[in-house]
Amino acid sequence: MDNGDQERLIAARYRLLHLLGQGSMGTVWAAHDEVLRRQVAVKGILRPPGMPDAEADLLRERTMREARAVAALSHPNLVTLYDVVQHDGDPYVVMELVPSRSLGEVLQEQGCLTEKQGAAVLDAVAAALTPAHRAGITHRDVKPGNVLIADDGRVKLTDFGIARNVAEATMTARGITLGTPAYIAPEVAQGGDVSAAADRWSLGATMWAAMAGEPPYVGKNVMQTINAVIHGDVPVPAGAGRLAPVISGLMRKDPDERLSLVDVRKQVYALLPEPGTDAFEVRNPVPLPVVVRPKPKIQPDAPLADDPGPLPFLVTNPLPPVRRRSRVATVFVLVAALLLFVVGSGGGFALTRYAAGAPLLPPTAQSLPTLPTLPTSATLQQRTASAAFVTGEQGGKFTLSVEQSWSTYAEQRASDPWLPESAVVHFVSGSGAYEVAVRRFPGFYPKYDIDSYLTGVAARWPGAFFVSGKVATPNLAGPRSEDSIQFVYKTVEGEGTDAVRRSHFSRVLPYGKDLWVVEVIVPTEQEDEARARLFDAIASTFAPV
């Protein structure tokens, strides 16, 4: 890191301490989170030299999308993503800081892994990929450099920096190579679709290199290596011992024939280190410098500062006991209360606002949050998307009128006690203030009904405030088990001064055996205006294809 980056503050929160590494896609620093006072890793996404502005914008947008998807993943063998911010127009990803060496560095030090070390790495990476694949996210660059061996012996998969949701349109800019040639799957090298099976091939190639001490395919240049991956025979794993059948099972040319992650873990289970033992040497991590801000010195004769005014937050600590009032003071309070009561309806209005948690006086123009301008129906354009599962399940296409510039990403949600598995497509405005979510439950009927969906919503948002009951709405053309409804509910995301209030307009549309939900999410401050300009204008254009 050059001197210009030393102690640089990102997004008024993350102070860069020193450089950890740099590659073709980004630079990673050790940093200090000055809000939570913990050490983190901050990755800045590099703009390749000569990249046009338009493609740089696509790269930034893609990074933000991927961060949203990866942030939903949580697993002991995955490096946790804490935050994604923009600073001077560039995206930065804030992650868990893991004192560690990469598997590539370990291989440089000791040549290759032992059988127990190989089993530990194979099991950990397979475990890490499982929740990602379940959510429809592929890593796309599993390799020794992205497997971390922590100083305390843990194994973690990192750098979903080029991961994307498989249902999202590809946004690869020219000049950016997705994947590392020696570990890329044959079908991907030929320009085919990326699937979870491609990650399994890359895991096999990574373990081939870990046990043999060199990659399975080595060429004099990139094109020669890719040609060998596509057309060459799969080499027999060298030095893999009892792990050889597993590695060969992962590196089958036909993606449909590759071992599943579940079978991988079953086959290496007996080879894992004994419980309570570490496959890798536990090392003493080098402590990061702790940022300590000196307390300001107070001069004895210095004048007191001006009164800062009321606190910008609620006091949650219990207040000290109040001394008993005198009889005269009590009478005075009673008289004042009677006078306030006589004020009449104005007092009732104030009490109503107070009970609802709203300020007694309307906010001034200066205190209102700055909100983006709502789009108009004239800027909405018909778009086609698919709420289909990663498994290749048929159906799921739909059309909807929405802003053309809004970003699109998709996810697959697991079932819960009230609802089956579903696929969701999100359309998000550039500011992030507005969102349209289309959710599809295939095979919803006859086991479930709309009341099941409402129960599921209430379970997902325990503190949600439902402001309207079920209201009849036009049905979709075609067979249905129930009539369509719509309703509105409000949520609070975050806590304290960072809390964001959102209003969710939902239209629930039975269609054959499926249930579709079109939801428009807006800041509560713009609820009334958004109902007509967004929800009514968008939800009425939805149609399955």
Whether residue 57 sits in one domain with residue 162: no
Whether residue 210 sits in one domain with residue 239: yes
CA-closest candidate to residue 166, choices 430, 391, 422: 391
Collect all residues with Cβ–Cβ distance below 8 Å to 122 and sequence separation of at least 6. 203, 207, 243, 246, 264, 268
Whether residue 222 sits in one domain with residue 78: no
Domain C-terminal end among 33, 65, 97: 97
Whether residue 151 sits in one domain with residue 38: no
Whether residue 208 sits in one domain with residue 85: no
Whether residue 442 sits in one domain with residue 409: yes
Domain C-terminal end among 248, 283, 318: 283
Whether residue 197 sits in one domain with residue 67: no
Reading the chain (545 residues) residue by residue, the pLDDT tens digits are 444 555 689 999 999 998 887 765 678 899 999 999 999 999 887 766 666 777 777 777 777 777 777 777 889 999 988 888 888 878 888 999 998 899 999 999 999 999 999 999 999 999 999 999 998 888 888 999 999 999 988 999 988 754 444 333 333 332 333 457 889 999 988 877 778 999 999 999 999 999 999 999 887 667 778 888 888 889 888 889 999 999 999 999 999 999 999 999 999 999 999 888 889 988 765 554 444 444 444 444 545 444 444 444 343 444 344 444 455 444 444 444 444 443 443 343 333 333 333 333 333 333 334 455 666 666 788 999 888 875 556 778 999 999 887 877 777 777 878 899 898 888 888 667 888 999 999 999 999 999 999 998 888 887 777 877 788 999 998 899 999 999 999 988 766 666 778 899 999 999 999 999 999 999 888 888 888 888 988 999 999 98
Within 215-312, residue ranges assigned H as helices are 222-231, 244-250, 261-268
**Residue 197, domain CATH:** 1.10.510.10
Contact assessment for residue 348 and residue 360, using Cβ atoms and an 8 Å cutoff: no
Whether residue 128 sits in one domain with residue 87: no
Choice among 123, 141, 159, 514 that is catalytic: 141
Collect all residues with Cβ–Cβ distance below 8 Å to 526 and sequence separation of at least 6. 371, 374
d(CA 10, CA 375): 31
199 catalytic, yes or no?
no
Whether residue 159 sits in one domain with residue 274: yes
Q: How many domains does the chain have?
A: 3
| Domain interval for residue 529 | 377-544
Q: What is the dihedral of CA 240, 244, 246, 252, to 10 degrees?
A: 120
Whether residue 517 sits in one domain with residue 414: yes
**Residue 92, domain CATH:** 3.30.200.20
Amino acid at 148: L
